Structure 1
């Protein structure tokens, strides 16, 4: 009989943190002008998608947008090797800010990664090391949304997200969906926060060094 893996058997948090630790290690082990492999990056980003699904209706907009744009980057990786080459190609084609461009999609994906980073920081900061269960995710999620997404959203989306915050799972429910225990979840969240930061910084520098800006 074939061995099938159920959703409950998987460890999304561990896959997330492991994937971004690999990316971070590649950046840290190379020269300051190191390039990030687009295929590896898109695979790592795909590991974050289950987290958005677990957050429910409040972040449904983020899940749909994020997944679609990660898929676009994955398809782009079939013909483009690095993030730098992808951005430079769009710069040459003068399509950086056009809807659907790879560079525009990358910026949106980066914000998704950053939102998760801030969310995890807020969850960790709000709890003692061995108490990651029980209480509401509303404050951590609201802070993450306000810092990362809200400045780019209109009134209608901000209002819908605010209403959806009341339907967020509790921390205990989130951990159950992610198939994690409190202390192990905290460790994986810390690993993701640490590993994603240099990747996010790399992408920001990629845009800023080309005069593209990151606030659009």
Structure 2
């Protein structure tokens, strides 16, 4: 079912996050994580939001803008740790536009995709409405106002079917399940790592 381009966004995503998870797992104490490889892996997730259509338009725009900021920052700052240290030093962690705040928002995007994939893997249904609603409700909804929540709920009716999503991603059911499971496992390690970065600096993660 190859469209001729050979482009496999899901495989690229799962391979990139596997590589980061392996880096994290390969050292006993919390290793420094390269901002460039992290932001590059995150940028591979962007097309996925696009494939979900209007319901996640807000997430796509927000996520892409913040990943772009991290990519640009990685030119001058080497690791996630030093990026956060700089923001703490400049007392701007919670200010809109700060790299650390953007990192927290990007992490939520990764987490939403993780929950979405978990729900898709657990469901036999061809509709994505339940998986997407659960992923949104669990990860984004607590931080969104009524207007965005209402827009997302309306957009859920325009979601592609699971079959349509797999076609857009150039995958069949079997290969997609493997790549989704790989991402779920690897991203959980990366997300936990980022949460620890915030908590170890007493920055909290619920803002």
TM-score when normalising by structure 2: 0.97
| Partner residue in 1 for 2:146 | 155
* Aligned 1:94-113 pairs, distance under 5 A: 94-113=91-110
User: Which residue in 2 is equivalent to 1:186?
Assistant: 177
**Residues 136, 193 of structure 1: CA spacing in aligned structure 2 closer, same or farther, 3 A cutoff?**
same
What's the offset of the Cα at 1:47? 0.5
Counterpart residue number, 1:3: none
Q: Name the Cα RMSD after superposition.
A: 1.1
In structure 2, the gaps of 5 or more residues are none
The answer on 1:206 being equivalent to 2:197 is: yes
Aligned twin of 1:196:
187
Question: Does the CA-based 8 Å contact 1:8-1:179 persist in structure 2?
Answer: no
Deviation beyond 4 Å, 4+ runs, structure 1: none
In structure 1, the partner of 2:21 is 24
- Please say if 1:48 is aligned against 2:45: yes
Aligned to 1:15: 12
CA distance in 2, matches of 1:113, 1:29: 22
Q: What is the Cα deviation at residue 175 of structure 1?
A: 0.3
Do the aligned residues in 2 keep the contact of 1:136 with 1:171 (CA within 8 Å)?
yes
CA distance in 1, matches of 2:29, 2:189: 12
1:160-192 deviations in Å (ceiling 9; x for gaps): 000000000000000000000001000000000
SS at match of 2:94: coil
Question: How far does the alpha carbon of each residue in 1:172-215 deviate from its partner, in whole angstroms, 9 at most, with x for none?
Answer: 00000000000100000000000101100010000011110000
After superposition, the Cα gap between the structure-2 partners of 1:194 and 1:169, relative to the gap in structure 1 and judged at 3 Å, is same
Give the match's secondary structure for 1:9.
Answer: coil
